[in-house]
Structure 1
């Protein structure tokens, strides 16, 4: 009986952590706007979410932030961490395929779980030609603000220069693999 109660408690605690993320009221409420590539990326993603994929307007869009000039060249590493002061848009533009952005903080428990999942997915990402970039919100608060990251972990998948998938909270390997396909 005690084992059942303990197991139930552990599952309940894990579910709370898994589904709640690390949002602290008021500390992550980013809503400032500015004109930059990040704003263009965000506005394009919002347009993509509002329009149906079969809509001719979506098909006619040609602008992109992702370079396809050297699409045949494999990535050196599929999981990288954006260093302080490093340019995210340069990394996205130099990617040869989809880019999975992981917004995290070192002090965030669910972010550590998400980081392990991403680490375990490196070979899967390589098979799909996807680069995964971890972005520490403490080192890059402007990027988090521009992309309206309100809770962590937050994941965004960028394809053809647009955010096509976005989720706050831990995403499992199955879901992320579906995103990459």
Structure 2
């Protein structure tokens, strides 16, 4: 590497804005939802399967939304629920989750809303915005 390349690459790293660090989604384990609900947290459940195309499309939309607005990750607990593991669980039954690719938002124990098998960025954004409004109210 010559000196010019070294200087330019160093300068570029100082000039470029730092990319916002996105909070990772938390993987569901039994009791996690109850813990966050009892604390009054705003929770966004994503029931998905690794083999599900609709789930992957929803995941891309959610990732894009969180990149556009850091307030989502700062105020909402995003929980991934593995459909293959927890699709027939007591929790999924209690919440009446009909299938994978279901997104559900809660503030404490109160359901804010849900989306089933919808990949529309507009509709998913409405649900995440409603969760953010509840979280910051």
Same fold, TM-score > 0.5, yes or no: yes
Q: 2:50 aligns with which of 106, 109, 113?
A: 106
Structure 1 contact 124–177 (Cα < 8 Å) conserved: no
Task: Provide the C-alpha distance between the structure 1 equivalents of 2:80 and 2:42, rounded to a whole number of angstroms.
Answer: 14
Task: Provide the C-alpha distance between the structure 2 equivalents of 1:163 and 1:120, rounded to a whole number of angstroms.
Answer: 24
- Where does residue 16 of structure 2 map in the other structure? none
- Where does residue 7 of structure 2 map in the other structure? none
Q: SS at 1:145's partner residue?
A: helix
- Where does residue 19 of structure 1 map in the other structure? none
- Where does residue 127 of structure 2 map in the other structure? 176
Higher strand fraction: Structure 1 or Structure 2? 2
TM-score, normalised relative to structure 1 = 0.48
How much has 1:118 moved relative to structure 2?
Answer: 2.1
* Structure number with larger C-alpha Rg: 2
TM-score, normalised relative to structure 2 = 0.61
- Where does residue 6 of structure 1 map in the other structure? none
Higher helix fraction: Structure 1 or Structure 2? 2
How much has 1:86 moved relative to structure 2?
Answer: 5.8
Unaligned segments of structure 1, at least 5 residues: 1-75
Aligned pair count reads 103
- Where does residue 166 of structure 1 map in the other structure? 114
CA deviation digits over 1:2-48, x for unaligned, max 9? xxxxxxxxxxxxxxxxxxxxxxxxxxxxxxxxxxxxxxxxxxxxxxx
- Where does residue 14 of structure 2 map in the other structure? none
